[in-house]
Chains A and B, each alone.
Chain A
Amino acid sequence: MLAVNAEKRLGTFALAARFQAAGGVTALFGPSGAGKTTIVTMIAGLLAPDRGSIALDDTVLFDAAAGVNVPPYRRRIGCVFQEGRLFPHLSVRQNLDYGRRMSGHPRDTRHFAGIIELLDIGHLLNRRPRMLSGGERQRVAIGRALLMRPRLLLLDEPLASLDAARKHEILPYLVRLRDEAHVPMVYVSHTAAELRQIATNVVRLDAGRVTAIGGVELLD
C-alpha cells in the first residue's frame, strides 16, 4: 500500500496530491503539466515535497513534520523513465546487473533468467545501449528496474518516446509483468488508450490536484 500526501511548489506550479494505491497497476492520468512526473519523482526520493508524507506499506519514506527523508538508494523503488536512462558506458548485461551489484546481493541466475525471458531480451545482453532500438531500450530499462527486486515499480511515460508500432510491441510485456511479477506499479501516462490495457485503478490529476480516484471507467 502506497500512501501519498504531498505538497510541492515549483516556481508558479503548485502541487497538492493525496491518494493511496494498493497492489496492481495504479495509473496517474492527466494532461501534461498536471504534476504526474513530479509525484513519481517524489515517490522515488529524487525530489523532496515541501509538506506532507509518503509511506510504502509500513515504511515511512518521507515525513516533513518528523524530518524523515529516506534517500533514493535506500528506498528500493524501481524506476523506468521515459528516455530509458540506460548507462551508455555499460553493456546491457551490466546495466541489468547494476542494481544487484550496488546493493551487494548475491547473484541469482534463476531470477535473472526469468526476467530476461519475460522481457525477451536475452539476445541483447552483450550490446551497448546505443545499439538498441527504442523498444528494446525500454524493455532493458524495465528489466533493470525489476532485477533490483523493487517493492514498487514506477513507470513514468515509459512508452511516450516510442512510435505506435513500438508501443504495441511493449504493452504485452507490461501486461505480463502485471499478471506474473506481482510487483505493485504506478504508471504515469496521458494516453487513455494505453492505460486501459494495463491499469487496475486510476488517479486522475489536473493542474496539480487529484480530481478523481477510481477504476478504469475514469479513463473514458
Chain B
Amino acid sequence: MFELSPAEWTAVLLSLRIAIVATICALPFGIAVGWLLARKEFWGKIIVDGIVYLPLVLPPVVTGYLLLISFGRKGPIGAFLADYFGIVLSFRWTGAALSCGVMGFPLLVRPIRLALEAIDRRLEDAASTLGANPLLVFLTITLPLALPGIIAGMVMCFARALGEFGATITFVSNIPGETQTISAAIYTLLQIPGGETPAGRLVVIAIAIALAALIASEWFARRAGMRFQGE
C-alpha cells in the first residue's frame, strides 16, 4: 500500500541531504552575521541588514536566477570555483544546497540575532574579569546562552530548505537523482496522468518530516531553556 518506489526514495533522501547540508553550511555564516547585526555598529549596516532579508521578500525565481548568473559555470563566482577548486554547483545537488541555504538564511539569522541581543552583556564582562579572553567568552558564555535561538534558527532554515522550490529549480533545474527534491518530484508527478498516487505518498512524507523537525526543535529548545531554570 504505502510503499515508495526507488525513484521516490531517491527524492526523499536527496531532499534530506540537501536540507541538512544547507543548514549546517549556513550555520557559521548565520552566527557571524547575527553577531555582526546584534553587536556591531558600522557604516552600511542597514544595507547588510537588507541584503540578508532579501531572499525572504524576493520572488524565489529571481533569487534562483541571480544564483545562476553568479554561481553558474559562466558566472564570475561559479567560474572561479570551477577553475581553482574544481567545484561545480550548477545542475548538481550541491547547487541545490546552496540555493536552499540562501533561501533559509534570513530565517536562520533572525532568531540568532534576537538571542544575541537578549544576552546580558554584563555576564560577558564578568567572564572577562575571571580571565576569559574574548574568544573564550564567546565560546563559553555567549554561544551557550544563545543556544535556544540558534536551534530555532536551524529548524526554520531546515524547514525552508526542505520546502524550497522556485530558486532551486531555476538554479539547478529538476534532474531526478541529482537535483529533484520532494517538492520538485511532487510537481513533476502532478504534471503526468496517474501521478496523484505517488505524489500523495510524497506529500505524506513531507508532512511527516516537517512535523518531526518541529517536535525535535521544541524538545531541544525546552532542554536548553531548562538549563537556565534549574535542576
**Residues of A participating in the B interface, judged by any CB pair closer than 8 Å:** 44-46, 71-79, 81, 83, 85, 87-89, 98-99, 102-103, 126-128, 130-131, 144-145, 148
The answer to whether A46 and B128 have CB atoms under 8 Å apart is yes
| Option from B129, B132, B230 in Cβ contact (under 8 Å) with A131 | B230
Can you identify 8 A-B contacts, CB atoms within 8 angstroms?
A71-B128, A71-B133, A76-B131, A87-B126, A88-B123, A98-B130, A102-B130, A130-B229
| Option from A79, A85, A99, A130 in Cβ contact (under 8 Å) with B228 | A130
Q: How far is the CB of A83 from chain B (nearest CB, A)?
A: 8
Q: Chain B 66-107 against A: per-residue CB contact (8 Å), 1 yes, 0 no?
A: 000000000000000000000000000000000000000000
Q: Chain B 147-169 against A: per-residue CB contact (8 Å), 1 yes, 0 no?
A: 00000000000000000000000
The answer to whether B129 and A79 have CB atoms under 8 Å apart is yes
The answer to whether A85 and B131 have CB atoms under 8 Å apart is no
B3-11, B56-64, B136-144, B201-209 - the one binding chain A: B136-144
| Option from A102, A126, A130 in Cβ contact (under 8 Å) with B140 | A102
B132 to chain A: which residues have CB within 8 Å?
Answer: 73, 98, 102
**Sample of 6 more A-B contacts, CB < 8 Å, known A73-B129, A148-B131:** A73-B134, A85-B123, A89-B227, A99-B131, A102-B131, A130-B228
**Residues of B participating in the A interface, judged by any CB pair closer than 8 Å:** 120, 122-123, 125-134, 136, 140-141, 144-145, 227-231
Q: How far is the CB of A78 from chain B (nearest CB, A)?
A: 7
A50 vs B200: C-alpha distance when bound (angstroms): 70
The answer to whether B128 and A72 have CB atoms under 8 Å apart is yes
A126 vs B231: C-alpha distance when bound (angstroms): 9
Q: How far is the CB of A48 from chain B (nearest CB, A)?
A: 13
A137 vs B129: C-alpha distance when bound (angstroms): 18
In the A-B complex, the 6 residue pairs with the closest CB atoms = A99-B130, A103-B131, A102-B132, A85-B126, A128-B230, A131-B230
